[in-house]
Amino acid sequence: MKLRIGILQQHNTPNIEHNLKRLAEGVRDLAQRGAQLIVLQELHNSLYFCQVEDVNNFDLAEPIPGPSTNFFGELAKAYGVVIVTSLFERREAGLYHNTAVVIESDGSIAGKYRKMHIPDDPAYYEKFYFTPGDLGFHPIDTSVGRLGVMVCWDQWYPEAARLMALQGAQMLIYPTAIGYESTDTADEQQRQRTAWTTVQRGHAVANGLPVVAVNRVGHEDDPSGQTGGIEFWGSSFVAGPQGELHYQASDHEEESLVVDIDIAHSEQVRRWWPFLRDRRIDAYQDILKRFVD
């Protein structure tokens, strides 16, 4: 089964209406170029507001269903594509999530995933905003396949990828917002970017599944002035089930691209490398501990 995947790697601005307009234009263009599945970057409607802890930023959150799911639902239906979105969900006053929502090609909501692993680092103050997800790791069924959708920091955890694979995910998808800290050396920045790509390609190999990671790109200032802001490193990519790179985008330019992958190839790869067959599920009890003393 051939699947055409559209990737939209963009730089965001403070103007949400402008961002949405550009997203709509990008979705239309990718659909016209034959994309069947379109993946957007993490928190794509706005700037990455987690650089500061500001209660006024909770005003950016919205219910699901809500304005954004309606907006992207209309796009999905108009162009007959499945869209993976990433939204700031207002579940209730004082209860918010970083939530990926998959929109089916008829405009309906196919399913959602609430980010499970929440970072808390300088310029990435996500624990201030997001309650850890409570929906678990469950793939979402769509007309283009069963999608193992997670979000950004989740991409560093092999356990999360494995759980998606064990439930029949046909690919792993990660909307992302990650970049360089301004005081890091050039060598350290490249080590981080390479590690980010490598760990996800490892998930592809270990599970025999394609991986799609879509990151934002460009510089965003720190509103507090305490840091030099974040230079998001782009580098969005699609890897095959042996970790092979089908495409990797620029680390500093916007890109809109369509990548073809063969979903059926995973079956053959898993026959060659039967990792699921050889797992010692009788010996993994300690994985449920925080640390084994």
> Which residues are tagged catalytic?
42, 115, 152
Which tokens belong to 155? 């991409």
Q: What is the DSSP letter of 93?
A: T
**Three-state secondary structure string covering 9-44:** ECCCCCCHHHHHHHHHHHHHHHHHCCCCEEECCCCC
Closest CA to 208 of 155, 166, 156, 269: 269
Alpha carbon 283 to its chain centroid, in Å, reads 31
Residue 104 neighbours by CB under 8 Å, 6+ apart: 76, 82, 110, 142, 143
Q: What number of residues does the chain have?
A: 293
